[in-house]
Amino acid sequence: MSSLFERISTAILEGDEEKAPKYVQRALDKDNGPKEILQNGLLVGMGEVGVRFKAGDMFVPEVLMSADAMQAAMKILRPRLVESGVKLIGKVMLGTVEGDLHDIGKNLVGMMCEGAGFEVIDIGFDATPADFIAAIKEYQPDVVGMSAMLTTTMRAMGHTIKAIEEAGLRDQVKIMVGGAPVDAEFAKRIGADGYGSNAPAGSDLAKEFVGAA
């Protein structure tokens, strides 16, 4: 008999939009912590999707089904992740940079940040430097997070940071970057304040930035 976490990761892998939320609900009912369900169930399944897609064992339509199952499961988990945070500890604004449509990783970072007690503003994907600047002015976040999944769009992170500097807003925000092609060395080179290798690391970094780590 497989564990509930295994069933959750399998439901994500198989793109099962009915079972994924059902098993997440069952895991919650059995008093599993929302963060554990995310890390040991949902993220394990999505990680395997990435490995198989890369190896050519999964194709785009299947990957999208997995993404839908993930979103359906997160509808159940999200409020519990948010609840598990004690109180609002700051404001994090997140976006996937210009030219890039990948938003699953960014959404997970947002959910982890919410779970850690942040208010999260999500400006979506394909966000231009002007979008980031307008949203910083409007929402006054403590932390700005940028995500990129393509080697061709990583550069947009540097352009966005430069534009934020030129708009005179750089000193009022901490900037973190993440996404599969990004690393700490690259983050340093483009003038970011930090790099998160995964969703929990992104949320930990945001906590560090606001002195709540």
For 91, the 3-state DSSP assignment is strand
Find the binder of ligand B1M among 127, 177, 187, 190 (CB under 6 A): 177
Do 126 and 163 form a contact (C-beta atoms < 8 A)?
A: no
Task: Give the pair of three-digit tokens for residue 63.
Answer: 């990957």
Q: Are 202 and 109 in contact (CB under 8 A)?
A: yes
Q: Is 150 among the residues that bind ligand B1M (CB under 6 A)?
A: yes
Query: What residue number has its CB nearest to ligand B1M?
Result: 105
Residue 196 engages ligand B1M in binding (rule: CB under 6 A)? yes
Size of the site for ligand B1M (CB under 6 A): 35
146 lies in the site for ligand B1M, by CB under 6 A:
yes
CA distance 187 to 104: 20
Of the candidate residues 179, 187, 207, 209, the single one contacting ligand B1M (CB under 6 A): 179
Single out the segment in contact with ligand B1M by CB under 6 A; choices: 12-20, 33-41, 83-91, 193-201.
193-201
- Is 178 a binder of ligand B1M (CB under 6 A)? yes
101 part of the interface to ligand B1M, by CB under 6 A: yes
Does the footprint of ligand B1M cover residue 187 (CB under 6 A)? no
- CA 78, CA 67: separation in Å to the nearest integer? 15
The alpha carbon dihedral of 165, 169, 170, 175 has a sign of negative
Classify residue 31 by its DSSP letter: T
The gap between the terminal CA atoms of the chain, to the nearest Å, is 38
Site for ligand B1M contains 77 (CB under 6 A): no
What are the residues binding ligand B1M (CB under 6 A)? 43, 46, 50, 53-54, 60, 63-64, 67, 99-106, 108-109, 145-147, 149-151, 176-181, 196, 198-199, 202
